[in-house]
Amino acid sequence: MYCPQCGRQNPDSSNFCVSCGAVLSAPVTSYTTAAVAKKSNPQATTALILGILGLFFGIVSILAIIFGGIGIHQTNNDPDLGGRGAAVAGLVLGIIGTLGWVVIAFFYFIFLLSYIPYE
């Protein structure tokens, strides 16, 4: 190990320079890696967008459920693939949207049936 102040070579086990007495830093024994950004999962992003749109347009909710399931499956199989949260959110929004539209359709048909005259 070389001294950072005077440049003299010192034994690797020494904490101080034998020439000038400067503190020697410990050699780097391990390296940390920077966090690597995960690849984006397009099915997960699509599921989230369709889930939001499905709250306003009924049939789109079913597509959000399908894409959400595909996105969750893909993120489980590939650890380098990100977007699991978006896939789950799209799946949940798709389920909520589908159930909401089923309830709305049910009450709509009940309302229509109440105005049909019985003879």
Residue 54 has pLDDT above 70, yes or no: yes
User: Which of the four pLDDT bands, split at 50, 70 and 90, describes residue 30?
Assistant: low
3-state secondary structure at position 9: strand
- The HSE-up count of residue 81 (CA atoms within 13 Å, CB side) is 17
* Better-predicted residue by pLDDT, 116 or 86: 86
Q: Is the pTM of the predicted complex or chain greater than 0.85?
A: no
d(CA 19, CA 88): 63
Q: How far apart are the first and last CA of the chain?
A: 103
